């Protein structure tokens, strides 16, 4: 299960991870090895088996519709890289 | 020349009218200072986890029941993964494969008559925040107050065939979500937003054309314009030998055109998978039954009752059930005006009152004439105290000055003359004064009848009961 | 009373001495801080040591202990760990403490809230001794994948302590803390506990709140603890566990206190031995130690029964699909916008995202994010992610079937003992094999623990006990009985002797 350089670039783009050309060959080799491991799954007969996404099998608890949170903007923005007038700043967003 | 058929489907995001967010206890109130209503969960800070708001689920159940859909006993929240500054976690929690509401439909009224629009599904999800583009030294500011506000995304089948139908559907849906009190419907604040999928195909072709999605339309007018612009664009493109490319577009009301969204140009691969932080949402039959018991009479049922039991036209019944407030107002007038014909009440609510509301840009809940005031007026109209013309005058007074109909009638002497002796005297005098016209009438010139009516109204300052006047005059002229 | 023996004597004597006020919380904290000052430069087991903050907490604890001792009967039950200093894995958000998760991404992150686990330790009167090193975002089985450098094994400084909670395990093994918290996603408590010769428990999924515990793979992560004995683990678990309404996977239960499970007879308990866990992969040294431990259980009156877990051999591939898939999504929030590392070099939004994340994450984290994105992406979802979830079901079913014929399962924690630093660096997947006996347990959501069970060429070996859902009490009962009849858990690493510890 070998991964092409283009596939590595595609998932890097999906994952928003910058990958340099120098890193690419090693990454391609490492990811291919992990996928080789993962590909062993395909030999297993799982006909009729229900996927297990949540280990407990219980339903989600529900909370009542009450406001419980107070304004903690100052504390939360103390760890932010860049804010102004209460807003998080990012490079211009294009719609 | 090819005849084109337009195919439209809508995806509507209705913000649910909960106090707190869908997965956190932060307030959903509109208009707060930026990021003061974004708690750790809404901000996606490390380690925090979502917990489902019962109020949001209950509203979804209400909707499902109201559109005759199946409320899924088990539905699953998934993660829709993509990066965007207004999406703090890098994924949106949304129902994907297993939504909470499946199927159902909505009946709409158009100029072509009634039509049923099928719903595919309605699912719960969280809203994103907002990026503000006004200048922060060339940067964007991100406000996450809206992040985590509960949304019900309501998806139709591609059942609509014109902008008119799409708008009729959007209006009917807007009326319904407000009717069952799950969404405030405030379109300016973005509480009710539509994405419209539009494609065209040659008339008779079974396959759908390639569709484009126009996002975030927040007025009925924009829905109509966006569809018309997009249909025109697609038809021109095809007729010029081009092909429609599936894409996401925005409607620009200033230019009255749609344009491609640059941020959506990447082929999106959302990598949906079940959210491991949220076990499946289980909705028991007992819960659904309790919600059903608490539902108000729904628009369709009320429309049918208005038509069948009260004898209203389908048109009037539809207008009166466009909103719960209108229907309530109508029924309150009817209850306070015993003996008054429902059709008369409907005519007034859909006629003079609707016109006055439109002039004042008001909704019926803020009408300047209350249901009790209108009932008082219609009682006097029905019992002959005032004429239709007088009633309109009194309505205007009620609208602008307030008060009640009886007081206005007394104060202004607007009681119509229904005393046959008094009217007979007036008419006799007119006949005596106008022998030539009497002769003309008796010679067969029926039109002269109007001459006498005019004279009589003038002589009574318009207070003559028109029906009585006609009857007496005819008798007197007949000799 | 001399302080030094108390530091190594387990939690209960320490709690009693503090409650009697024969020692102060400040003295205890200072004594451990002194040990840390000497040993941590060798072990690199801790990321953040803040003596001033710890001593402030200790002084506060002393005030409370003083008022509790003058008002008899008050506070004793609520403050089960009054004045006891605890090392926390640097994955639990603690208000005012830097919480790095072993990552450059969070090097500057001061948590603005407490994790549910931290709240419970605070409510029990415990103080924060320091923040433990770990594999970045809990991804690793050797603790070589930390932005803050590898942790060294106290038994052999050239070897790894295991991971990802390697710092926590090494601290307890080296006597730098009486107990430490950890998290276990695929073995991250049991494996370092085994390799460092301490006791460690991974509770049932849902037993301990995940709120404020930075997520790696949400459907597998579970908080737990390290200590010197099963008896101490019972005390810690009584403090840590309980329903948290902020975690939708947390479960409300009314189980008896775990402390009531220890000191009880184990005769008649049926111990299942999975035949697949004693195959060719198991090294001779580890196998011999584990078999001796099983014989000891038999000597204590347990009945050994043969069980089979055929699908558990597929656990590693299933895990390396599911865990990276969840991780790829969980780690998307680290984008340089609201907190965490932001690159200095960007011109547009895309560069901000891609470079902040490329600079903030280490190699192993990147590999798992990329694999996760791949297995969830269009065209691969069914073949990888969905198939892995089906295999997960098969694995869970195997355990359920096995527990029809036994009360608990026993076996090795790892196929081999601790490996040399750097020996698995050429192929990332070679490290993954260290978790072959621990991963199936996480996939099934079951409780499990590791207790010291002898040595393999001077390196500690762990015995793993796995229970049915919610049966931590039974595991602690058996582990405690084992420790009452053996002294493996009392052995101390020679490597640090003479270092002042």
Place of tokens 């184990």: C266
pLDDT band at C72 (very low <50, low <70, confident <90, very high): low
Q: Tell whether the model's pLDDT for residue B239 goes beyond 90.
A: yes
- Looking at the complex, report in whole angstroms how far the Cα of residue A38 sits from the nearest Cα belonging to chain B: 18
Q: How far apart are CA B252 and CA C203, in angstroms?
A: 56
What is the arithmetic mean of pLDDT over C83-93? 98
* Top-tier CATH class for C4-70+80-311+397-490: alpha beta
Query: Per-residue pLDDT tens for C318-374?
Result: 999 999 999 999 999 999 999 999 999 999 999 999 999 999 999 999 999 999 999
Q: Tell whether the model's pLDDT for residue B160 goes beyond 90.
A: yes
Query: Per-residue pLDDT tens for B443-455?
Result: 888 888 888 888 8
pLDDT band at C463 (very low <50, low <70, confident <90, very high): very high
- Looking at the complex, report in whole angstroms how far the Cα of residue C172 sits from the nearest Cα belonging to chain A: 30
The number of distinct structural domains making up chain A is 1
Q: Tell whether the model's pLDDT for residue B4 goes beyond 50.
A: yes
Query: Per-residue pLDDT tens for C279-320?
Result: 989 999 999 999 999 999 999 999 999 999 999 999 999 999
Query: Per-residue pLDDT tens for C4-24?
Result: 999 999 999 999 999 999 999
Active site residue C332: no
Q: Tell whether the model's pLDDT for residue C421 goes beyond 80.
A: yes
Nearest CA in chain B to A71: B36
pLDDT band at C75 (very low <50, low <70, confident <90, very high): very low
Q: Tell whether the model's pLDDT for residue B132 goes beyond 50.
A: yes
Contact A91 B139 (CB under 8 A): yes
Lowest mean pLDDT among B213-222, B239-248, B424-433, C432-441: B424-433
Contact C110 A79 (CB under 8 A): yes
Q: Tell whether the model's pLDDT for residue B265 goes beyond 60.
A: no
Report pLDDT for A1. Answer: 61
C315 touching A, CB under 8 A? Answer: no
- Pick the closest to residue C412 from C460, C480, C484, C470 (CA basis): C460
Query: Testing the interface with B: which of C334, C376, C385, C442 to mutate, by most B Cβ within 10 A?
Result: C376
What is the arithmetic mean of pLDDT over B232-256? 93
3-state DSSP assignment of residue B107? strand
B91 touching C, CB under 8 A? Answer: yes
Contact A75 C112 (CB under 8 A): yes
Query: Per-residue pLDDT tens for A25-68?
Result: 999 999 999 999 999 999 999 999 999 999 988 999 999 999 99
Buried residues in C138-153 as b, exposed as e (16+ CB within 10 A): bbbbbbbbbbbebbbb
Touching C: B residues 309-368, CB under 8 Å: none
Report pLDDT for C499. Answer: 45
What is the arithmetic mean of pLDDT over B250-270? 81
- Pick the closest to residue C173 from C500, C498, C491, C499 (CA basis): C491
pLDDT band at C501 (very low <50, low <70, confident <90, very high): very low
Active site residue C188: yes
Question: Which chain B positions have a beta carbon within 8 Å of A16's beta carbon?
Answer: 83
A77 touching B, CB under 8 A? Answer: yes
**How many CB pairs lie under 8 A apart between chains B and C?**
97
Contact A89 B141 (CB under 8 A): yes
Contact C384 A40 (CB under 8 A): no
What distance lies between CA B88 and its chain's CA centroid?
34
Does residue A52 sit within a domain? no
Does residue A81 sit within a domain? no
Out of C24, C141, C164, C209, the active site residue is C164
pLDDT band at B241 (very low <50, low <70, confident <90, very high): very high
- Looking at the complex, report in whole angstroms how far the Cα of residue A65 sits from the nearest Cα belonging to chain C: 14
- Looking at the complex, report in whole angstroms how far the Cα of residue B131 sits from the nearest Cα belonging to chain A: 7
For helices B420-433 and B466-477, angle between their N-to-C axes, nearest 10 degrees: 50
Q: Which helix (H) or strand (E) holds B91?
A: strand B91-95
Does residue A74 sit within a domain? no
Give a three-class secondary structure readout of B143-196. Answer: ECCCCCCEEEEEEECCCECCHHHHHHHHHHHHHHHHHCCCCCCCCCCCCEEEEE
Report pLDDT for A95. Answer: 66
pLDDT band at B423 (very low <50, low <70, confident <90, very high): confident
Lowest mean pLDDT among A4-8, C115-119, C429-433, C484-488: C429-433
A29 touching C, CB under 8 A? Answer: no
Neighbours of chain C (3+ CB pairs under 8 A): A, B
What is the arithmetic mean of pLDDT over B151-162? 98
Report pLDDT for C497. Answer: 57
Does residue A72 sit within a domain? no
pTM over cut 0.90: yes
3-state DSSP assignment of residue C491? coil
Mean pLDDT of chain B: 93
Does residue A22 sit within a domain? yes
List Cβ neighbours of B293 (8 Å cut-off, separation of 6 or more).
Answer: none
- Looking at the complex, report in whole angstroms how far the Cα of residue B276 sits from the nearest Cα belonging to chain C: 5
**Residue C289 contacts residue C455 (beta carbons within 8 Å):** yes
**Residue A54 contacts residue C394 (beta carbons within 8 Å):** no
Nearest to A66 among B25, B85, B136 (CB): B25
Contact C358 A18 (CB under 8 A): yes
- If 0-12 CB within 10 Å is exposed, 13-18 middle and 19+ buried, where does residue B469 land? buried
Place of tokens 């209400």: B62
Question: Which chain A positions have a beta carbon within 8 Å of B18's beta carbon?
Answer: 65
CATH number at residue A19: 1.10.20
Nearest CA in chain B to C336: B85
Contact B83 A86 (CB under 8 A): no
Nearest to B47 among C115, C337, C378 (CB): C115
**Residue C222 contacts residue C202 (beta carbons within 8 Å):** yes
Contact C337 A39 (CB under 8 A): no
Nearest to A93 among C336, C349, C445 (CB): C349
Active site residue C164: yes
Q: DSSP string spanning C15-81?
A: HHHHHHTSS-HHHHHHHHHHHHHHHHHHH--EEE--HHHHHHHHHHHHHHHHHHHHSTTSSTTT-TT
Q: Which domain holds residue A30?
A: 5-43
What is the arithmetic mean of pLDDT over A73-89? 96
Question: Which chain B positions have a beta carbon within 8 Å of C378's beta carbon?
Answer: 269, 271
What distance lies between CA C431 and its chain's CA centroid?
18
Nearest to A60 among C248, C318, C361 (CB): C248
**Which whole-number Å values give the CA distances from A11 to A7, B269, B339, C368, in the listed order?**
6, 10, 74, 11
Does residue A20 sit within a domain? yes
Report pLDDT for C433. Answer: 86
Q: Tell whether the model's pLDDT for residue B263 goes beyond 70.
A: no
Nearest to A88 among C338, C377, C386 (CB): C338
List Cβ neighbours of C374 (8 Å cut-off, separation of 6 or more).
Answer: A3, A7, A11, A31, A35, C380, C384
């Amino acid at each position: 299960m070998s991964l092409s350089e283009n596939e590595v670039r595609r998932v890097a783009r999906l994952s928003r991870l910058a990958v340099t050309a120098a890193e690419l060959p090693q990454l391609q080799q490492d990811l291919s090895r992990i996928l080789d491991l993962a590909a062993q799954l395909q030999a297993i007969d799982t006909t009729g088996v229900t996927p297990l996404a949540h280990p407990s099998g219980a339903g989600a608890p529900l909370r009542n519709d009450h406001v419980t949170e107070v304004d903690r903007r100052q504390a939360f923005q103390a760890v932010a890289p860049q804010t102004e007038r209460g807003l998080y700043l990012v490079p211009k967003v294009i719609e | 020349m090819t005849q084109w058929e337009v195919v439209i489907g809508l995806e509507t995001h209705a913000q649910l009218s909960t106090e707190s967010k869908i997965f956190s206890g932060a307030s959903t109130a509109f208009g707060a200072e930026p990021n003061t209503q974004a708690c750790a969960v809404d901000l996606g800070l490390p380690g925090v986890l979502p917990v489902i708001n019962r109020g949001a689920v209950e509203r979804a159940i209400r909707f499902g029941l109201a559109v005759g859909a199946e409320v899924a006993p088990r539905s699953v929240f998934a993660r829709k993964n993509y990066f965007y500054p207004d999406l703090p976690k890098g994924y949106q929690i949304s129902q994907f494969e297993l939504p909470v509401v499946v199927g159902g439909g909505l009946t709409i009224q158009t100029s072509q008559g009634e039509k049923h629009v099928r719903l595919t599904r309605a699912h719960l999800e969280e809203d994103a925040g907002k990026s503000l583009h006004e200048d922060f030294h060339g940067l964007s500011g991100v406000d996450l107050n809206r992040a985590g506000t509960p949304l019900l995304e309501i998806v139709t089948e591609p059942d609509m065939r014109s902008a008119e139908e799409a708008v009729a559907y959007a209006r009917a849906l807007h009326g319904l979500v407000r009717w069952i009190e799950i969404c405030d419907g405030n379109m300016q604040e973005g509480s009710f937003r539509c994405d419209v999928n539009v494609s065209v195909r040659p008339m008779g072709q079974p396959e759908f054309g390639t569709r484009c999605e126009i996002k975030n339309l927040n007025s009925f007018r924009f829905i109509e314009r966006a569809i018309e612009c997009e249909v025109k664009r697609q038809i021109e493109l095809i007729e010029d030998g081009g092909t429609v490319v599936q894409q996401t577009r925005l409607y620009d009301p200033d230019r009255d055109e749609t344009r491609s969204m640059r941020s959506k140009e990447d082929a999106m691969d959302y990598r949906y998978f079940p959210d491991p932080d949220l076990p499946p949402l289980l909705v028991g039959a007992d819960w659904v039954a309790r919600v059903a018991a608490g539902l108000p009479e729904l628009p369709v049922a009320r429309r049918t009752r208005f038509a069948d039991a009260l004898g209203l036209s389908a048109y009037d019944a539809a207008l009166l059930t466009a909103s719960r407030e209108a229907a309530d107002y109508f029924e309150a007038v009817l209850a306070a005006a015993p003996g008054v014909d429902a059709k008369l009440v409907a005519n007034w609510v859909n006629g003079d009152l609707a016109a006055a509301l439109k002039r004042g840009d008001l909704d019926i809940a803020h009408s300047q004439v209350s249901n009790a005031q209108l009932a008082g007026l219609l009682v006097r109209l029905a019992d002959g105290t005032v004429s239709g013309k007088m009633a309109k005058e009194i309505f205007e007074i009620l609208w602008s000055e307030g008060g009640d109909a009886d007081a206005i009638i007394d104060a202004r002497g607007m009681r119509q003359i229904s005393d046959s002796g008094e009217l007979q005297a007036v008419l006799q005098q007119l006949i005596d004064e106008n022998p030539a016209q009497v002769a003309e009438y008796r010679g067969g010139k029926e039109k002269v009848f109007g001459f006498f009516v005019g004279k009589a109204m003038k002589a009574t300052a318009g207070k003559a009961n028109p029906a009585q006047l006609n009857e007496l005059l005819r008798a007197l002229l007949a000799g | 009373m001399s302080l030094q023996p108390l530091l190594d004597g387990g939690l209960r004597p320490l709690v009693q001495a503090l409650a009697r006020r024969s020692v102060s919380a400040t003295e205890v904290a200072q004594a451990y801080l002194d040990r840390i000052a000497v040993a941590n430069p060798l072990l690199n087991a801790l990321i953040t040591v803040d003596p001033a903050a710890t001593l402030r907490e200790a002084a506060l604890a002393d005030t409370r202990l003083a008022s509790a001792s003058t008002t008899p009967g008050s506070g004793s039950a609520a403050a089960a760990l009054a004045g006891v200093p605890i090392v926390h894995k640097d994955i639990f958000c603690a208000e005012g403490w830097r919480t790095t998760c072993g990552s450059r991404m969070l090097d500057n992150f001061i948590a603005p809230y407490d994790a549910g686990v931290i709240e419970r330790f605070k409510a029990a009167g415990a103080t924060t001794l320091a923040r433990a090193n770990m594999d970045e975002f809990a991804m690793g089985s050797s603790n070589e994948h930390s932005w803050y450098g590898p942790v060294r094994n106290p038994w052999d400084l050239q070897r790894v302590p295991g991971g990802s909670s390697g710092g926590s395990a090494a601290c307890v093994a080296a006597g730098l803390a009486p107990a430490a918290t950890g998290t276990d996603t695929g073995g991250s408590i049991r494996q370092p506990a085994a390799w460092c010769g301490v006791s460690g428990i991974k509770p049932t999924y849902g037993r301990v709140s995940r709120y404020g515990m930075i997520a790696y793979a949400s459907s597998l992560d579970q908080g737990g603890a390290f200590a010197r004995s099963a008896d101490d683990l019972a005390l810690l678990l009584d403090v840590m566990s309980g329903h948290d309404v902020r975690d939708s996977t947390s479960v409300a239960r009314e189980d008896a206190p775990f402390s009531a499970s220890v000191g009880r007879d184990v005769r008649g308990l049926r111990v299942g031995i999975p035949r697949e866990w004693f195959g060719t992969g198991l090294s001779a040294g580890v196998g011999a130690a584990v078999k001796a431990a099983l014989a000891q259980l038999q000597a204590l009156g347990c009945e050994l029964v043969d069980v089979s877990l055929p699908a558990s051999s597929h656990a590693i591939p299933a895990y390396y699909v599911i865990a990276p898939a969840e991780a790829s999504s969980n780690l998307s929030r680290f984008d340089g916008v609201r907190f965490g590392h932001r690159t200095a070099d960007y011109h547009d939004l895309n560069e901000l995202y891609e470079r902040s994340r490329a600079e903030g994450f280490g190699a192993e984290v990147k590999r798992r994010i990329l694999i996760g994105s791949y297995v969830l992406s269009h065209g691969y979802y069914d073949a990888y992610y969905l198939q892995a979830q089906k295999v997960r079901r098969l694995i869970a079913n195997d355990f359920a079937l096995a527990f029809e014929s036994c009360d608990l399962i026993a076996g090795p924690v790892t196929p081999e003992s601790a490996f040399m630093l750097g020996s698995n660096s050429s192929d990332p997947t070679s490290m993954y094999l260290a978790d072959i006996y621990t991963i199936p347990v996480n996939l099934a959501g079951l409780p499990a623990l590791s207790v010291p069970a002898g040595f393999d060429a001077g390196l500690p070996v762990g015995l793993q006990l796995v229970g049915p859902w919610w049966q931590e009490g039974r595991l602690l009962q058996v582990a405690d009985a084992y420790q009452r009849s053996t002294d493996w858990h009392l052995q101390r690493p020679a490597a640090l002797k003479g270092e002042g510890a």
